[in-house]
Amino acid sequence: MFLQYKQEVNKYTKKDAVIALCFYAYACIVLFLFGMLNRLPNLPIGGTVLQVISTTLVAGVLFAIILLKKQGTASIGIHMRNLKPALLLGLLFSVFILLQNAFLPALIEGWEPHSFSNIMRMLFYAVIISFMEDTMCTGYIQTRIYGLIKNDIIAVLVGAFLFAFIHVPWLVGFSGVSAFSSLVSLSMMVWIGSHIIWNLVFRRYFSLFPIMMMHIAWNMGNDGIFVTNGGSFINNFNLAALILVVVIWLIIVRRKAQRTSAY
């Protein structure tokens, strides 16, 4: 583990982990209920407003917890330390994600761009969803879960499953699909892999900013910029390519750190 990440996660106790899991259960209930609300006909408010309300209910309670616990936003990776390198890291990975997820397959397969209004609408959704999921899962729950699970690999795998599962209640409520179908879908593996990547990058500066940038780019690259016309053979390898790039980056960072410490 990177030193700052290790120092931060070692602070938390079983009580912190239990509170985080209780909050997670609350978030699942909120997302399920708002998914069901989206299905109701003749609602006086639209889906965008519902998304804002559900995000506020989840994120608002999260920030209330960390403030009441006097842990501060820095404890979930929202701080100004190393801001410039963190943003640069997020920008580099985000450019790669957009190139491989959107612009390269669009060029090869002749995809047409969405209208500007649709792109802006999708960007809005990508921003608020990424903010909610990343503060909740990567910044808060993943760090607190070490209060119960001291093994780093197991803690991350549990956090990855929780990140993946958080999508299920909303899908069940919104589309009516069974929870079992969601759990055994390919999307679960993609979400699990995504969280592992987010966590690896998060460790570098203990900052959520590069994670949110990458998450927004991922969501926009998948369907927010171009009409995909049924998908692309390139998109089948998006996650694998991103994992490879992140692993190479980690190897370079670690070797550089080892050389520095040798002097």
| pLDDT (tens digit per residue) in 201-249 | 999 999 999 999 999 999 998 788 998 765 444 455 788 888 889 989 9
**Pairing assessment for the beta strands 112-113 and 226-227 based on DSSP bridges:** antiparallel
Q: Residue 233 has what pLDDT?
A: 45
Q: What is the dihedral of CA 13, 19, 20, 24, to 10 degrees?
A: 160
Q: Residue 229 has what pLDDT?
A: 64
More confident of the two residues 99 and 110: 99
More confident of the two residues 35 and 156: 156
DSSP H helical segments within 10-151, as ranges? 14-39, 47-68, 83-98, 104-109, 116-133, 142-144
The single-letter DSSP state of residue 41 is T
Q: Residue 66 has what pLDDT?
A: 96
- Rama region for 16: left / alpha / beta (φ>0; ψ in -120 to 50; rest): alpha
Residue 113: φ, ψ to 5°: -75, 150
Which residue's structure tokens are 């408010």?
45
With H, G, I as helix, E, B as strand and everything else as coil, classify residue 2: coil
| pLDDT range class, residue 263, cuts 50, 70, 90 | low
- What is the pLDDT averaged over residues 170-176? 81
The yes-or-no verdict on residue 185 having pLDDT over 80 is: no
